[in-house]
Amino acid sequence: MIKRRSRLFLASSLQGEVVKGNATTRYAYATLAGLLLAGCATVSGLSTKEPDLVMTSAKSPHDLAACIAASWGHHHGGANTNLLENGFVVSIPNQVAGTDAEATITSERVGSHVSFSERMPSLSPAWMKASVVQCR
């Protein structure tokens, strides 16, 4: 009987330590998630910041958006294309951060105007920007 009670006592005291550890782990994960999301932006956040690249193209907005979406889809596995009144927005989705990059393509008298923005330019792969330039 005494052995059983000591085992039960040991098991219950360890269980308390595990619960404390789980709470600490939860706080650590919550803090880490907060830090990771601190640099994130949504599509609206990207469109309100200064573009990383502004250029014009002789291509129509439709053709340019199709080219960028195909290139980004090849590298990333998918790109979102949204229709605007006078053009398109092509974006690279990110499940955690919302959007990694976006290209806003609007119609000009001849060709298109492109504004390209990245969520974190210093950490983004070079193919994001290169795709926009090459499709021009």
Bridge-based pairing of strands 87-94 and 80-84 is antiparallel
Say what angle helices 61-76 and 126-135 make with each other, to 10 degrees: 150
In this structure, the answer to whether residues 113 and 131 fall within a common structural domain is yes
CATH at residue 50: 3.30.310
Mean pLDDT value across residues 27-41: 57
- Are 23 and 66 part of one and the same domain? no
Token pair listed for 129: 């920007």
- Residue range 14-29: average pLDDT? 59
pLDDT in tens, 71-100: 999 998 889 999 999 999 999 998 887 899
**Domain hosting residue 113, numbered range:** 43-135
Segments in 1-136 forming alpha helices (H):
2-37, 43-48, 61-76, 126-135
Looking at the structure of the chain, the number of domains it has is 2
18 with 59, same domain: the answer is: no
Its pTM surpasses 0.75: no
> Rg of the Cα trace of the chain?
25
Residues 12 and 58 in one domain: no
* pLDDT at residue 2, rounded to an integer: 52
